[in-house]
Amino acid sequence: MTEERIIHAIGGVLQTFYHSPTHPPVVEHRRCSLPGGVIWQRLRYRWQNDGQPVGLCLNWLVFPAEALDVFVTRFHERGLRRLSEDAGLQRAIAHAFWQTTWAGSAIRGQRGTTWPVAFVPIHRPWIEKASPLFTERWPVGQNRWIFGRHCRLLWQCRQLVFRRGLSWRENRFDSRSDAEAECLAWLNRRGFVDRFIGGNAGMRDACEIRALVPVHGSHLLTRLAAGEGRYFTDGPFSPSAVVAATNSGFFLNFPEEYAHPWTAMNDPVGLFVENGRMAQLPLVSRGTLLIDKTGQTAVARVSMRDVAIRLPWESHWRFFGEADGFVLDKPAEKPGQIAVYTPAFLAEEPPEKRYTPETDGVDLVVLFGEVAEVRYGGMSAIPASGLVLSLAQPLMPDPEPERFLQPMHAPIQFRLQHEHFGLEAIRTAVAAGPVLLRRGNEPIPSDYFSHRFEDFRPTHIEDGRPTAAGIPPTRFPHDVTDTRAPRTLIGTLPGGELVLMVVDGRHPEHSLGATLQEAAALLQACGCESGLNLDGGGSSVLYIHDAAEKEIAPLAPEVRPGIVNLPSDVGHQERLIPIPLFIMHHGGA
């Protein structure tokens, strides 16, 4: 489509959905060529609705599919060292925790109330690099074991907090018990305390730690793109190769979403693949952008139905629905099947009722490919960023715990079945949802959520307690035509290129935002044949690496240099992002 036709089509969207004038006034239209054949445009409209000035601001990029990279922020040893030196990043983590705590828990309405909190950065493995099964086990009750040093030490730290035995004094964590020396050394090496927010600001006196919050690797997108990324990746990273960056999929945000003992704040909850390596499984059915090693793309709903599983003591792969495979979110129907319970299981029930059924065998609680916990007899809580494999006794190599729980030579293996989507091996994948346009230009129907094509379920909270757990993102507006919000969208063009669009919102005079129906129409106006909604709201941000050189000024003085949209949070500040998307160019200018 020509530029003139795109602008004309967007004007039609404004007339149809926003009730703008026939020719809504364009207050800005900018177009800029970026390295690697990337084209950036910004289009801003302003008009009167019922006597009030309103607007719409769109930023979008068109670029080759092979330029899109997922960047998984990692709190490995190098990342931990950098975090320990960076009070600004520590403050951003504490700020994100308190903002969601005040908005979503029992202290809603008591904004500003704080208490001493310790944060523990967690390093999640690649799915393919998970540790061999049953290394370093530790019993924590009758018929229950936890595995791995980090899980054990995290459990011990949680027990210290529960017993009110963890304190902060003289700039380090301390305890009255000498028995916790290893736990304290681990916490002092990787953890930090909130000394930034509300009553915790400038904390100097000794205090009792009231909460322990594990945190998945996360950072400010602009700082990662500008060079900090080299500290938080286990691969090469060249900031000069970054053309642009934006946010991607959903993650655990509100405290009740990561209340399970093995989950962490900012854990991603959908399929992510970075350079052919899985960073997270497709735990529930979600719209996903897939790019294979040849550059072919697809937007599809992906779930655990599209994953094959192999247990370490078995030689065959298990496939969904087969007699010697697995079933999802229900007990096995045939003797050779295992049951896989995902965050969608009993999502309408309160968290305290969301347990796997009783079994004569064993449950394996799996997060990021690693077994964190084993429970004989079933009745396992399901982590929002993981799943539970439930095995009947005949499928175990030995029913006796002392023999079954011996260290094994390999982990549980998971393989994404790329052939389900007509693609070669997947190089890049990002899940979010819902799907806005299906190939053939079919837009999202207004009753999409009622059909449960994707696993979106809201939480319900009464008197500060969740009465339905939901599936993260639990506060996502479950409507297609009503809620206007900032949006980050990605779509595919018939020629194979991608369109990345950020729609500003929550500041009506600047930009009204978009419903999901309007978002689909905007992608259609740009010529997309398929499209996907990514995480939005305050997460929506678009960064251009050389914006200053291109004389692209921020839309407000307080916006960080390089950000070309207007983030919707207070002060137009960007949010922490665990897994941003980078548009890269490794060739010449």
Instruction: For strands 460-462 and 465-468, give the pairing.
Output: antiparallel
> Is 115 a member of any domain?
no
The C-alpha atoms of residue 574 and residue 447 are separated, in whole angstroms, by 32
Strand extents, DSSP E, 497-549: 498-503, 530-533, 542-544
| Count of C-beta atoms within a 10 Å radius of residue 10 | 22
pLDDT at residue 42 is higher than 90: yes
SS3 256: helix
pLDDT at residue 392 is higher than 90: yes
Instruction: For strands 117-122 and 211-216, give the pairing.
Output: parallel
Q: Is the pTM of this model over 0.85?
A: yes
pLDDT at residue 588 is higher than 60: no
Q: How confident is the model at residue 170 (pLDDT cuts 50, 70, 90)?
A: confident
Lowest-confidence region among 18-27, 305-314, 376-385: 18-27
Instruction: For strands 26-34 and 38-49, give the pairing.
Output: antiparallel
What's the mean pLDDT when you consider all of the chain? 94
Residue range 79-115, pLDDT digits in tens: 999 999 999 999 999 999 999 998 865 555 567 789 9
Q: For position 110, what pLDDT does the model report?
A: 67
> Is 126 a member of any domain?
no
Phi, psi of 273 (to 5 degrees): -130, 125
Residue range 473-518, pLDDT digits in tens: 998 888 999 999 999 999 999 999 999 999 999 999 999 999 999 9
> Is 376 a member of any domain?
yes
Beta-bridged to residue 443, according to DSSP, are 437
Mean pLDDT in residue range 26-40: 96
Range of the domain at 331: 305-418
pLDDT at residue 159 is higher than 90: yes
How many domains, the chain?
Answer: 1
The C-alpha atoms of residue 439 and residue 422 are separated, in whole angstroms, by 13
Q: For position 105, what pLDDT does the model report?
A: 52
pLDDT at residue 204 is higher than 80: no
Q: For position 176, what pLDDT does the model report?
A: 80
Q: For position 9, what pLDDT does the model report?
A: 94
Q: For position 212, what pLDDT does the model report?
A: 97
Helices and strands per DSSP (H, E), number in the chain = 9, 36
> Is 338 a member of any domain?
yes
Mean pLDDT in residue range 538-547: 95
Residue with tokens 């796997």, as numbered in its chain = 356
Residue range 334-349, pLDDT digits in tens: 999 999 999 999 999 9
The C-alpha atoms of residue 504 and residue 536 are separated, in whole angstroms, by 9
* Number of Cα atoms under 13 Å in the Cβ half of residue 348: 0
Mean pLDDT in residue range 49-53: 90
The C-alpha atoms of residue 173 and residue 189 are separated, in whole angstroms, by 10
Instruction: For strands 530-533 and 435-438, give the pairing.
Output: antiparallel
> Is 152 a member of any domain?
no
pLDDT at residue 196 is higher than 60: yes
> Is 137 a member of any domain?
no
Q: Encode 537-564: b = buried (16+ Cβ within 10 Å), e = exposed.
A: bbbbbbbbbbbeeeebebbeeebbebbb
Burial label, 446 (beta-carbon count in 10 A; 0-12, 13-18, 19+): middle
Q: Which stretches within 18-173 are classed as H helix?
A: 77-85, 87-104, 149-162
> Is 235 a member of any domain?
no
Lowest-confidence region among 33-42, 196-205, 238-247: 196-205
Terminal-to-terminal C-alpha distance of the chain = 26
pLDDT at residue 189 is higher than 60: yes
Q: Which are the contacts of 450, defined by CB distance < 8 A and separation ≥ 6?
A: none
The C-alpha atoms of residue 119 and residue 93 are separated, in whole angstroms, by 8
Q: For position 23, what pLDDT does the model report?
A: 80
Instruction: Find how far residue 378's CA is from the centre of its chain.
Output: 28
Name which of 248, 306, 263 is nearest 281 in CA terms: 306
Q: For position 109, what pLDDT does the model report?
A: 53
The C-alpha atoms of residue 513 and residue 533 are separated, in whole angstroms, by 13
pLDDT at residue 589 is higher than 80: no
Instruction: Please state, for a pLDDT cut of 90, what percent of the chain lies above it.
Output: 86
> Is 369 a member of any domain?
yes
